[in-house]
Chains A and B, each alone.
Chain A
Amino acid sequence: MGKESSDKSDSVSSRKLVLPGDLLETKSKPGRGIFRRDGRVHASVLGYSSDQSGYMNVNAITGGYTPKVGDKIVAICVETGPSVWRMDIGASFNSTLHHSESGWKVPFGDTARFLTIGDAIWAEVFMVDAAGTHQISLKKDDCRKLYSGTIVKIGPTNVPRVIGKQGSMITAIREKTQTRILIGQNGHIWIDGKGNDIATVQKAIEMIDNEANSKGLTKKIEKLLEK
């Protein structure tokens, strides 16, 4: 399921907090979270700088979801049209799911029979254009409509913390609670299982989201799951 490798920038050793406007001394190529002024590189977001593999990046540690092609996400239907669904994916704008990307044979005007307002899906971002609009697809890999369980929304910049190093955090949560979990890159997380187990996972995930920048988080989560 999706990309569960932890973000490299998460390694605690070399990271440095930078604020918007901070000058970054580097000979590397400019990557994300930066801008150039007078030939010099500055941070554009609050985050940790990383100078690796020839690129200077600032990995944001707060902020909204910017869709990228290939991202696996949990989306919620907010509007139905004759041949499309408008889906909330937690970005600045709602995304579009065209009937041709649904995998279903949808007669014109009959979209709501397949997916109605409030329904949730596991989908993939397959198109993002320069104007910032995007489309998602249900035709890839394990993409599907979600029929049970619940959805928890967290800050997308905390998704790597929920996954943990090499997936350690999420593996522990899954094993301790006997739940099925899908982690959208957009910070929408689907949890399925018994009611009590879902509630425990929701608590754990919300704790990670609220205390993503605090130390000793792993221990706290372990304690919560032992209960």
Chain B
Amino acid sequence: MAGQTDMELIKDGVRLDGRKADELREVKIVAGVLDNANGSCYLEWGNNKVYAGVFGPMECHPRHKQKADRAIVQARYTMAPFSVNDRKRPGYDRRSSEISYIASQAFEKVVMVEEFPKASIRVDMQVVEAHAGTRCAAMTAASVALADAGIPMRDMIPACASGKVNDVVVLDLNKEEDNYGQADLPLAIIPSTGEVVLLQLDGHLTPDEFEQALDLATSGCMDLYKKMRLALENKYGGSA
């Protein structure tokens, strides 16, 4: 968050991209787009474009990372060099490392890791175009890819951010709001229980605004969850 700014990001309840405060950008999800991966997903969220692919469960390498009584989830989040306006140097940085780490842990909560001792489930998330909210887009795509791979899970986890711009709590920040807004709160939940598996926050929120932001992000997650279901029903033909 760049903090306070004079930039007018929301006026009379309407945001720069024409959305209301509680509105998501357009989301398109397609399950099973890659042939090699055991499960995969392509997701567009506003102008964000993300691929996710899953391999496993398979033997965990390196061996010292194996857990005798369960599988580990090795999630990896990467941004392509051409995904942002200034070319990003290829490879891993501290930001992608952190996102990969907390995403792995979030997935380990829902994946039935206890069914696959010593195994590894590899979840790869590739951001090919980025316009704010890519970690949520990537995790949502990865959840669909996990289901597409037939990995046993307690639920799929949607992820969605809320935030604050011009002192208004809004859902799903766009690029300008992310750059010049006052707060950003990415959230991932387990829809069937309401449990929180990922929460980050940076910026400035009053305790009341925090509660509001949490409500808004939760409702965003639930909306997204419906779209995730639809993507899988489209691929597998729904009830027949």
Contacts and interface: CB of A to CB of B under 8 A. Distances in A.
Q: Is the pairing of A and B real?
A: yes
A136 to B, nearest CB: 17
A153 interface: no
B154 A17 contact: no
Which one of B156, B232, B236 has the highest number of Cβ atoms from chain A below 10 Å of its Cβ? B236
B17 to A, nearest CB: 31
Contact of A42 (B38, B117, B192): B192
Q: How large is the interface on B (under 10, 10 to 19, 20 to 34, 35 or more residues)?
A: 35 or more
Contacts of A70: none
A61 B235 CA distance: 11
25 contacts: A15-B240, A17-B238, A17-B240, A21-B110, A21-B153, A21-B155, A21-B156, A21-B190, A23-B192, A33-B152, A35-B152, A35-B154, A44-B152, A45-B150, A45-B152, A45-B153, A47-B150, A61-B150, A62-B236, A92-B57, A131-B118, A132-B118, A132-B119, A213-B236, A213-B237
Given A64-B38, A132-B119, 5 more contacts: A12-B240, A20-B147, A33-B152, A44-B112, A61-B150
Interface in B12-51: 38-39
A20 B58 contact: no
B151 interface: yes
Contacts of B236: 17, 46, 61-62, 213
A17 B233 contact: yes
A94 B28 CA distance: 38
A227 interface: no
B149 A63 contact: yes
Interface string B182-205: 000000001111000000000000
B147 A16 contact: no
A132 B153 contact: no
Contacts of A185: none
Interface string B144-178: 00011111111110000000000000000000000
B239 interface: yes
Nearest to A156: B150
A130 to B, nearest CB: 8
Interface string B211-240: 000000000000000000100110111111
Interface of B: 38-39, 56-59, 68, 110, 112, 115-119, 147-156, 190-193, 229, 232-233, 235-240
A102 to B, nearest CB: 23
Contacts of B156: 19-21
Interface in A1-24: 12, 15-17, 19-21, 23
Q: How large is the interface on A (under 10, 10 to 19, 20 to 34, 35 or more residues)?
A: 20 to 34
Contact of A93 (B119, B152, B153): B119
A129 B188 CA distance: 35
Contacts of A15: 239-240
Interface string A32-43: 010101000010
A17 B156 CA distance: 15
B191 A21 contact: yes
Nearest to A93: B59
Contacts of B119: 92-93, 132
